[in-house]
């Protein structure tokens, strides 16, 4: 390898931590970490450093936390920093054009999909929501257009039929970290082949909103199952129960079941039989849920204190 590269790392959430750790363990030098400001977190809403900030602090790497990259002070700081390459992993802010021109090797991004599929803020959620059986990571060149840069490397990752967004994200973060360091090593040796994306095949994964969790029981059991696992750990899928909102945490599609009942009708709702609900096509078994403000419980335990007798109609919230 030629001389190790000097890298500025841009990232914020847990997804970015494996990549930062892998870079810290590599021959290259992370000279600065740029991450979002500390935010209120947890039930007590205490101001707490984010995962990337904590990782950087543990490694004694300098950190800056600008509210916006339009800030003149952060621009001057980055212009005064000597760096060869920028690495981005779920930073959560748009990067201005002046920034892309600073390092001699530009900026590359760890994107959690097989581009050009699922450009945008929530690619993992959308892969699970759509019932995809495979996704992956792409190391791409950062350009001004949203996730449209040339691709330097890809790696495929399967999605199990009952895996949640949380499950898939953890495996993608690990795969992305390994692929990123391999790509940085190759960049240190010289130019790397870059493959242009097929813009005509691009699909988009807009940011998930809390209201996306409302269950429409007219949908099929499979679609609702994908919604429940796709919106785990946030914002969770929910429905209206007799005593307020019910938040569904785990489910199972019951094969070969057409009941003739109206969608949203409880078919079984006892500790002995568990909780099953009619949908627009097929039956959904709810395995774990909670009431608003309550604890997450397995369905038989939940039903021992919150009866949902057959015929109860569940609705949207």
Measured from the Cβ of residue 3, the count of other Cβ atoms closer than 10 Å reads: 10
Write out the two tokens for 241. 């129960």
Phi, psi of 199, deg, nearest 5: -60, -30
pLDDT at 316: 55
Can you list the positions of beta strands (E) in 23-132? 29-34, 39-41, 46-48, 63-64, 85-89, 107-111
Mean pLDDT of the 86-105 span: 95
Cβ(63)–Cβ(35) below 8 Å: yes
Q: How far apart are CA 103 and CA 101, in angstroms?
A: 6
CATH architecture type of domain 211-305: Roll (3.10)
Q: How far apart are CA 80 and CA 8, in angstroms?
A: 12
The model's pTM is: 0.94
Q: How many H helices and E strands in the chain?
A: 8, 15
Query: Percent of the chain scored above 70 by pLDDT?
Result: 98
Mean pLDDT of the 71-98 span: 95
- Per-residue pLDDT tens digits for 278-295: 999 999 999 999 999 899
Mean pLDDT, the chain, rounded, equals 95
- Per-residue pLDDT tens digits for 1-36: 678 999 999 999 999 999 999 999 999 999 999 999
- Per-residue pLDDT tens digits for 232-265: 999 999 999 999 999 999 999 998 777 789 999 9
Q: How far apart are CA 181 and CA 288, in angstroms?
A: 39
Phi, psi of 276, deg, nearest 5: -125, 145
pLDDT at 46: 83
Q: How far is CA 129 from CA 107, 156, 167, 197, 314, in A?
A: 30, 18, 13, 24, 21
Q: How far apart are CA 42 and CA 302, in angstroms?
A: 24
pLDDT at 2: 78
Confidence of residue 163 (pLDDT cuts 50, 70, 90): very high
Q: Where does residue 276 rank: exposed (0-12), middle (13-18), buried (19+ CB within 10 A)? A: buried
Q: How far apart are CA 12 and CA 161, in angstroms?
A: 29
Mean pLDDT of the 75-99 span: 96
Write out the two tokens for 301. 């335990």
Task: State the DSSP code for 122.
Answer: -
Q: How far apart are CA 307 and CA 299, in angstroms?
A: 10
**For the chain, what are the domain ranges?**
6-201, 211-305
Domain 6-201 has CATH 3.40.50.170: yes
Task: State the DSSP code for 211.
Answer: G
- Per-residue pLDDT tens digits for 193-232: 999 999 999 999 999 999 999 999 999 999 999 999 999 9
Run of H or E residues at 275: strand 274-278
pLDDT at 103: 97
- Locate tokens 């807009």: which residue? 206
Mean pLDDT of the 121-129 span: 98
pLDDT at 310: 96
């Amino acid at each position: 390898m030629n001389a190790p590269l000097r890298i500025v790392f841009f990232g914020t959430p847990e997804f970015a931590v494996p990549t930062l750790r892998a870079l810290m363990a590599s021959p290259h030098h992370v000279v600065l970490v740029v991450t979002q400001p500390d935010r209120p977190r947890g039930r007590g809403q205490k101001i707490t450093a984010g995962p990337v900030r904590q990782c950087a602090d543990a490694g004694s790497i300098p950190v800056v936390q600008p509210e916006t990259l339009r800030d003149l002070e952060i621009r001057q700081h980055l212009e005064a920093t000597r760096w060869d390459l920028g690495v981005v992993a779920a930073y959560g802010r748009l990067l201005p054009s002046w920034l892309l021109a600073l390092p001699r090797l530009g900026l590359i991004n760890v994107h959690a999909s097989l581009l050009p599929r699922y450009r945008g803020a929530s690619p993992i959620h959308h892969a699970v929501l759509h019932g995809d059986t495979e996704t992956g990571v792409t190391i791409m060149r950062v350009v001004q257009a949203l996730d449209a840069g040339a691709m330097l490397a890809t790696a495929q990752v399967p999605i199990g039929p009952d895996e949640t967004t949380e499950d898939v994200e953890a495996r993608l973060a690990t795969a992305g970290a390994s692929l990123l360091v391999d790509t940085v090593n190759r960049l240190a040796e010289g130019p790397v082949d870059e493959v242009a994306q097929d813009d005509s095949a691009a699909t988009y994964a807009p940011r998930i909103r809390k209201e996306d969790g409302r269950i429409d029981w007219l949908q099929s059991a499979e679609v609702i199952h994908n919604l429940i696992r796709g919106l785990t750990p946030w914002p969770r899928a929910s429905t209206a129960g007799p005593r307020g909102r019910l938040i569904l945490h785990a489910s199972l599609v019951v094969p070969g079941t057409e009941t003739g009942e109206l969608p949203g009708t409880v078919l079984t709702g006892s500790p002995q039989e568990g909780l099953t609900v009619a949908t627009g096509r097929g039956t959904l078994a709810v395995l774990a849920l909670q009431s608003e403000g309550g604890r997450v419980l397995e369905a038989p335990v939940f039903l021992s204190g919150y009866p949902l007798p057959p015929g109860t109609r569940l609705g949207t919230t």
